[in-house]
């Protein structure tokens, strides 16, 4: 199942990460260790901090087996475009 996150409400992403972390039985320190980030970053994201490096966020999502889907009205044309494959 997918969840759409409002660009103006970063707290939703934090709630999703918190939910998955708890269901995985991980402490913040455990998740930080597994994902290779600092424990403060986990706390910050779970509490809705909006300024997080994309690479850091992707490490956390990967550690929790959460994928991110990019969607737009132009996405089909992007995947068909040879320039996009370079």
78, part of any domain: yes
Long-range pairs for 49-57: beta carbons < 8 A, 24 or more residues apart: 49/10, 49/14, 50/10
44 neighbors 52 (Cβ within 8 angstroms) = yes
The pLDDT tens digits of the residues spanning 24-82 come to 999 999 999 999 999 999 999 999 998 999 999 999 999 999 998 888 889 888 877 76
Number of domains the chain contains: 1
- CA dist., res. 11 & res. 16, Å (int): 9
37, part of any domain: yes
4, part of any domain: no
Q: What is the pLDDT of residue 75?
A: 86
32, part of any domain: yes
5, part of any domain: no
- CA dist., res. 42 & res. 78, Å (int): 33
* Domain encompassing residue 80: 11-85
56, part of any domain: yes
CATH number at residue 51: 1.10.260.40
3, part of any domain: no
27, part of any domain: yes
pTM listed for this prediction: 0.83
Q: Which of 27, 31, 39 is nearest to 66 (CA)?
A: 31
The pLDDT tens digits of the residues spanning 9-18 come to 788 899 999 9
């Amino acid at each position: 199942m997918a969840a759409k996150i409002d660009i103006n409400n970063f707290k939703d992403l934090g709630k999703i990460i918190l939910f998955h972390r708890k269901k995985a039985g991980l402490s913040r320190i455990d998740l930080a260790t597994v994902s290779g980030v600092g424990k403060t970053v986990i706390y910050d994201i779970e509490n809705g901090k909006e300024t997080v490096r994309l690479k850091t966020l992707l490490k956390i999502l990967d550690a929790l087996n959460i994928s991110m889907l990019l969607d737009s009205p132009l996405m089909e044309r992007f995947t068909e475009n040879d320039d996009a494959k370079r």
